[in-house]
Each structure stands twice: as C-alpha cells, then as structure tokens.
Structure 1
Amino acid sequence: MSGRAQTAALVVTYHTGPRLIECLYALKADPEISEIVIADNGNPPEVQAWLEGFITGCAGQAKLLRLDNPGFGAAVNRAARETAAERLLVINPDCVIRRGSAGQLAAALEGAAAPAIVGGRIFGIDGREQRGARRNTLTLMAALGLSRWTLENEPPPSGPVAVGAISGAFFLMRRADFEQLGGFDEGYFLHVEDVDLCRRATEAGGSVIYQPAAGALHYTSTSDVPSAFVQAQKARSLARYFRKFAKGPLERGMVELAVPFIGLALRLRS
C-alpha cells in the first residue's frame, strides 16, 4: 500500500460476543485498511484467546490493547496513539463494513474543510438505514423529543452531504484533524462523545459529512450490558454535552432546568 494514505481501523470491544469476529474479518479483508488496532475493554477468556490468535494471523498488521474499561472515547484515543496511519476509521465491534466502504469515506474526506469527519450509512439486517447515522446538530428541544434530530426517515442523499452529526459507530477522520480536536472528550464514558466531537469540529470551522455510498451492517446492542446502565450513562452524557456547549447565563439556566427531564424523556422514548 506504498504511495497511498494508510488507514487504521480502531475497534473498541466490551463483551461484544460473536459479532466481533465478523467485524474483524471484514476489516482484515478490506484492501483500503492497512492496520487494525483493537482496544479490549473487557471480554471473557475465550474471546481474549481468540483475539490473540487473530492478531497472530494478521502478520504484524494488527495490535491488541488490554484496557481496564476507561470508556469508549478514552479507549479510542488510546488506540489512535498506537498507530501512525494518516487516517483513522472508528468502527463499532458489532459493525461489519461493506467492502470498499473505507475508500468511499476517504473519497468524501478529500478537500473537506478541516477538521473533517465523514460517517457512512449504517443499516440493520433488514437493510434499512438505522437511526443516528445522519443527524442535525443536537439541541435541548431535540433531546426532550420536541424537535427532529435524526434524519433516517428523510429521503437518502445521492452523494456526500453536510450534516450536523454522524454516528460514532462508523466514521473516518484524518489523523491530523483528530489530534487537532484532541480526540474524544474522555469525560464521556458512553454515548454522546461522537456528537460532542462533531460539534467541536463544526465550531472549529470544519465539516461533518454523511457519505451514503459507504456502508456497514450494524447488529446493535450485542454487548452484555444492562439497559438501565446504558440509559443512565446516556442521560449523564447528554447533561454533560448541554452544559459544555451552553452559551451565556440564560442558556446555562435553561440547561439546568431541562437536565432533570432528559432522563425521563429517554425512558419514555425507549
């Protein structure tokens, strides 16, 4: 792959189950992906043993980090420091990339205002676009369910389009742009760190792009984690996000009034 910008896939896994195997073999088979860095935030012994064998079979093109579950964003940041690749592909361990999609993401990244983030189409086993791959900028009204945030029910674009946010389950960035933004905000343990990254890219004068030609099958919810824990983390992360980006005392006051209702809105929506 000399003469071509190299792309490292960063995969964070926590009790993911058998979907992890599909994810990693698809990445290994994609000609645009030069390296795989796996951050193991926690898996059973048999999965850890399988990962060791997978790394051995990659002939130096894969690395494995054993982490004490610092959270998704922190684990991605650690994985990014383990590679010198010019581009970073962040992909969930329950996502199976469609062959050629890394190249489609890279094509959309060319010429995009920095810092740039390009996300692809995420679909379920029914072939339908899943929620969250293309979104507006997150507002308090949207978090409370009072305005539209996600765009999966809108007609699909014919090519790359600017959006407010993409999904952290499947996106590509230039290493330089990721480093310019300081990577993920490690104050988020789980959820919303992707929305935060997109917001910071936009506010820095960069671009967030949805590329419908790039795709990944997303099984969703394969990690063995209680749903109540996930919902609590999501509510905590949303509160952090709105406090972080509030402009002026009036907006900060509105955030504090709304924060207690965010968790309730999430429970009602689920």
Structure 2
Amino acid sequence: MSVSAVVVSHGHADEVELLVPALVEQVDEIVVVSNVAGSVRSVPRGVRVLENPRPLSLAANVNLGTAATTGDFVLNATPDTRPEPGAVAALVACAESRPRCGIAGPQLRWPDGTWQPSRRRFPTIGGTIVRRTPLRALRAPYDQPGHYLTDERPEAPVEADWLLGAFLLMRRTMLDELDGWDPGYRHYVEDIDVCYRAMRAGWERWYVPQAVVHHRYAAVIDRTFLSRHTIWHARGMARFLRKHPERLLAL
C-alpha cells in the first residue's frame, strides 16, 4: 500500500529542510503545506509545496494536504520530528495486519534519545484540571500515569486511546469516513478529537514501539500557565467537550 506524507510548516523552514529528506526514502509522495510566507525554502525534487494565500488551522492544513495526495495511508508529520530508518514501514506493517487499524503512531523520543510519552488515555475532567492549572506544580512533569501511561513501556504494538499528533499514519478510508480532521480547532486537541471520533466509528488506534521517531516537542503549555497557547488549548478542550459531552462524565 502507498503512503503519502503531509508536512505543515508555519515558519519552520529550517526544520522542513531536515525532515523532508528523511521522509523521501520512506514514503511514496510528500506534500508540504506552507502556511505563512517563508515557511519553505527548498525541498527535494518531486516534493510538492502548497502555498496558502492566508493562514489556516493545523487541522485545515492537514485536510488540505490529504486532499492533494493519493496514498492509501496519509502520514501527518510535524516539522519537529525525525523518523529513524524503517519507522514508516513499521507503522504500515502494523496497520496492514489489522484491517480496522485507522491510526498508527510511533514510539516518540526526545532529541536526547529518552522516551517521550505519546500514547495516552482520553482526558478526564479531573486530570485536565490537574494538568492545566497550578496544581501541576505539585507533581513532577508527566507524573500522571493514568493519563500518560508512564508506567507502561510495551515492546510490541498495543492499542491506544489517542496518540500525540506529531507523527501519525492514518488510513485514508478512515479519514474519508470521518470527513478528515476538524478544522474548527485552532491549535491543540485536534489530535485527541480525530482519535476519539475514530474510536466511536469503530477504528482502532495502535502504538507501534518498533517505529522510532525523534520529536523536539516544544510542550509550551506544559511549561507556562498563562500564554496564548494556554488559551488556545482551553478553547480546544471546550470545543471537544461541546462535541463530546459524554466526556464530562469521565471524572
């Protein structure tokens, strides 16, 4: 089965120049969406660049790139990721062996090679309050094993609630059924939403530790309490709860 990669760049020209050559050998086609001027300088031959006349949300750009590609699978890769050789093939192998696998995500690692918690449980009200208020100062970073699953280090593919959206292999038939990502999310929570809608539609989400991807995760909202990113995240969570009010019962 063929794989199309979509890379959305919002002023990340330097990172795109490092990521795209690493993807060329692992996928069948690549589309880079330039969300603002100067987001892409040069790409290898055969890589297509879509220039946005005006900035769009991340989800809208993922949909734009998906519509411009033809692969059986769509790989959404953020510019701050670097896949190790064979990472995409491992994701595809997992998905191909499971017909209802709609989303497959890799083992993410910080730039220094240490493990990064990317397989997570769907958010609860109580857990979100702890993570997004000063209460989190009472805990070490990512010290919520019920959400981040930090006490689990599977060595074989295992199902997940949702996977961090930095590097996701998605089955096109699933995306077509779900009508893609929700462009109403400005930034943040769109990855939780697409995984949740996939779950409700009967599609599986799999974590594949054999696929290793390094991720220079900024984690802005994990480092600051009050910023525009905090507001964007809060609005994203509010949208998620409006769409899926049953999560209000998940305390």
State the TM-score, normalizing by the size of structure 1.
0.80
Q: Could you give the per-residue CA deviations for residues 14-33 of structure 1, whole angstroms, max 9, x where no partner exists?
A: 012522211111112x2x30
Q: Could you give the per-residue CA deviations for residues 203-247 of structure 1, whole angstroms, max 9, x where no partner exists?
A: 111101100111111112399xx9822221111101111121113
Look up the equivalent residue of 1:235 and give its one-letter code.
A
Q: Secondary structure of 2:17's match?
A: helix
Q: Could you give the per-residue CA deviations for residues 143-175 of structure 1, whole angstroms, max 9, x where no partner exists?
A: 112863112x22310111011100110110111
The answer for the alignment partner of 2:228 in structure 1 is: 229
Look up the equivalent residue of 1:138 and give its one-letter code.
P
Look up the equivalent residue of 1:149 and give its one-letter code.
H
Change (3 A) 1:83 1:193: same
The answer for the alignment partner of 1:24 in structure 2 is: 20
Structure 1 regions of 5+ residues with no counterpart?
A: 259-270
Whether the 8 Å CA contact 1:113–1:207 is kept in 2: the answer is no
Counterparts of 2:197 and 2:101, CA distance in 1: 9
Whether the 8 Å CA contact 2:87–2:212 is kept in 1: the answer is yes
Report matched runs for 1:47-66 at 5 Å: 48=40, 50-51=41-42, 54=43, 57-58=44-45, 60=46, 62-66=47-51
Identify which of 36, 42, 46 aligns with 2:36.
Answer: 42
Counterparts of 1:141 and 1:34, CA distance in 2: 43
The answer for the alignment partner of 1:262 in structure 2 is: none
Shift of 1:141: 2.1
Q: Secondary structure of 2:74's match?
A: strand
Shift of 1:139: 1.9
Identify which of 105, 114, 125 aligns with 1:140.
Answer: 125
Matched, 1:167 2:144: no
Whether the 8 Å CA contact 2:95–2:101 is kept in 1: the answer is no
C-alpha RMSD of matched pairs (Å): 2.4
Structure 2 regions of 5+ residues with no counterpart?
A: 132-143
Identify which of 8, 26, 32 aligns with 2:4.
Answer: 8
The answer for the alignment partner of 1:263 in structure 2 is: none
Q: Could you give the per-residue CA deviations for residues 164-195 of structure 1, whole angstroms, max 9, x where no partner exists?
A: 10011011011111111111011101111010
Percent identity of equivalent pairs = 28
Change (3 A) 1:114 1:181: farther
Whether the 8 Å CA contact 2:92–2:169 is kept in 1: the answer is yes
State the TM-score, normalizing by the size of structure 2.
0.85
Structure number with greater Rg is 1
Whether the 8 Å CA contact 2:71–2:172 is kept in 1: the answer is yes
Shift of 1:115: 5.9
Q: Secondary structure of 2:27's match?
A: coil
The answer for the alignment partner of 2:148 in structure 1 is: 150
Shift of 1:40: 0.7
